[in-house]
Amino acid sequence: MGKQLLAKAFFLCLLLSTTNLYAQLTPFSLPPKWYFGHRAGLDFTSGSPVGMAGNTWDGGSPNYDNQEGATTDCFPNSNVAYYSNSCALKDATHTYRGPNPLLGGGNSSTQGVISFPNPSSPTNKYFMANARVDPSGGSNCAQSSHGIYVYPVDASVVPLAVGAPTLLSAGAASSTGPGNESIAVGSDMAGGYWIVSIDYNSGTGNCRFVAWNVDSTGTINTTPVYSPVVISSAWSFQPQASVNISKCQTRIAYLQKGAPAGSEYVVCNWDPVNGVSTGIIRAGSTGNAFNYGCELSPDGNVLYVTGLDAADALRQIVIASGANNVVAATNLGPSALTGWGNLKLGPDNKIYVSHSYSAAEGGPKYIGVIGTPNGTTAGAVGYVATGYTLGAGALPSTQNGLISLSWHNPFLTINNSSATNCMDFSHTFNQYYGTAIPVLANSEEWDFGHGGGWQTGLGATPTHTFPSNKGYTVKLRLKDSYCQNFYATQRTVVVNCVLPVELVSFKARKDNGGVLLNWQTAIEINNDYFEIMRSTDGITFQRIGIVDGSGNSKTLLNYSFFDDRATGSQIYYKLIQHDFDGASDASNIVTVQLDKAFNAPIAIAPNPFNESFVLTKFNDEKASVIVYDLLGRIVEQKSSSETELVIQLGAGLSNGTYIVEYITAESSYTARVEKQ
């Protein structure tokens, strides 16, 4: 096992990280910088949004108007990595970097494009999924290759490298099959993501959610996963509204224009592990003529919806009761345009609302803000139509769109440091963009990888002693304080700080008629026995005895062995410690001079004794006297002053042989006594 019997006060512990060092469950962070529309952007890095300019989609090839969908993604330091208008890609310098146009997408798709980190390298590589476009919607960038495509984006190089797309589902949104103009991305609770859309069947019924998985290695599975729950059997109009997953990844909501029955909404339980909806919580008519945008409140209990027609409203639907409340009836956009645009929950837990503006319209442009979206009445949500003023010349996505964003998996890492008790652990739990995520008190659970299973009550900074030196997979799971869902991660630690036996001391002293060996251990792991070895030249050793070890112990233990056959002028001793698994290790060598004249500092009488014995000191000195049994256990201990010359010992001892150690500030002396 590569053991070192004599230990220092510190140990070296090496760490090897596994590939999965980021958090694996409920996502929390959104990109803090958003580009959308023409010269429109919001920067949330200071907590409250600040305007960003420079995002330019002027319309016409090769620039392509940003009519509806848009997305942005950022590096973990919050700087923009790239952004897209569903047709092309730009980097942070507003330079075109991607295919022009992107396959599958189009600027008239409601949620035309959405970005998320590549789990295999989440700090600098990304995926960008395009929604299937309805070619009748006036898109000026869609090619004939309609469908849902996933593009890999490498932002670690300049310029950005965009790889070949992976096709998930072919065809336009108006055709039968999985996928349409609605697209969302959520966690799979294992370090990867689900790309979610709607399986539309051209009015034949059995409409349901469909998802594709990108696992923790960044592998895209092109096989769709269909939810077992049918969310509508009456839709006759191709899906053109929005789908969104709640912040805590427990609910999913979708809107649909269901002519002739009117627009509908549906809210389902969402299973992020398997990528399926598991039951309808609430469904009904919104009251809007043409549903468009939807977003769930931070707690997942309120659904907000908008309508695309001029007479439509901004509404909230309280999921528990089904109450349908008009939050605002009037859009700030001109009546000549269609109604409300899209919605997005921000990193500040406020919902941002896009108004419809034309490029020719004068005056300031605004983004509406729902300040307290967990409120369950129209008056409690704090909606402000002019909540944020866009800069001069800025427009949200020219007609309706705001931005499509995914919840990013945060980082949960296990930290460790070496210590005399082997290893100290802690954890770091941060959003993708660096902000610490509050942990539910005492929710940490640890598994140290050697058969103990999950252990609770250890807190955030446990100390652990491992049984042997080798690699262990240490696991951690905990709950965030907001959603109270488990996160989990693991790390491989290579332990090089565990000694089978920590030998504190090993001494040999000339005794009456022989040599007494004493040694002391602080820690024993898997310790079978000690082999006592003697040599007359310090090179060739012979075994002269065996003393049993204590197996496993974390307390101070004393051992002794008396060599009554020691001969010669100088003699050498060492110990060989043996594990139960056959491994062994040797101690240092100690030396005893047998021919050196010696005057005993004490006398013991009677020896053997029946009831007790008396130790008589020959010098006026402070001293301690320790009596050991032959297993090294202390059975009696006394001290004396300079003037106390006689010490009585041994009362109550069982029959047998004992070692008496007499210790002063200058020297020590041992003798054997026997109780009969």
Q: Domain 33-389 sits in which CATH superfamily?
A: YVTN repeat-like/Quinoprotein amine dehydrogenase (2.130.10.10)
Q: Quick check: 107 pLDDT over 80? A: no
Q: How far apart are CA 490 and CA 317, in angstroms?
A: 40
Comparing C-alpha atoms, which of 107, 71, 73 is closest to residue 87? 107
Q: How far apart are CA 107 and CA 120, in angstroms?
A: 29
The pLDDT, as a whole number, for residue 662 is 87
Q: For residue 269, give the 3-state DSSP assignment.
A: strand
pLDDT range class, residue 168, cuts 50, 70, 90:
very high
pLDDT range class, residue 548, cuts 50, 70, 90:
very high
The pLDDT, as a whole number, for residue 21 is 27
Q: How far apart are CA 358 and CA 423, in angstroms?
A: 63
Q: Quick check: 11 pLDDT over 70? A: no
pTM (predicted TM-score): 0.72
For the chain, which residues make up each domain, given as ranges?
33-389, 424-494, 501-593, 602-675
**Topology of domain 424-494, per CATH?**
Immunoglobulin-like (2.60.40)
Least confident of 153-157, 189-193, 430-434, 588-592: 588-592
**Topology of domain 602-675, per CATH?**
Immunoglobulin-like (2.60.40)
Q: SS3 letters for 580-598?
A: CCCCEEECCCEEEECCCCC
pLDDT range class, residue 594, cuts 50, 70, 90:
confident
The CA radius of gyration of the chain, in Å to the nearest whole number, is 38
In this predicted model, what pLDDT tens digit does every residue of 363-399 receive, in sequence order?
Answer: 788 899 999 999 999 999 999 999 998 887 777 765 6
- Fold match between domain 424-494 and domain 501-593: yes
In this predicted model, what pLDDT tens digit does every residue of 621-639 receive, in sequence order?
Answer: 899 999 988 877 889 999 9
Q: How far apart are CA 400 and CA 304, in angstroms?
A: 16
The pLDDT, as a whole number, for residue 505 is 86
Average pLDDT, the chain: 84
Comparing C-alpha atoms, which of 516, 506, 564, 532 is closest to residue 669? 516
| Domain 501-593, CATH among 2.60.40.10, 3.10.310.50, 2.40.30.10, 3.90.1150.10 | 2.60.40.10
In this predicted model, what pLDDT tens digit does every residue of 287-301 receive, in sequence order?
Answer: 888 888 999 999 999
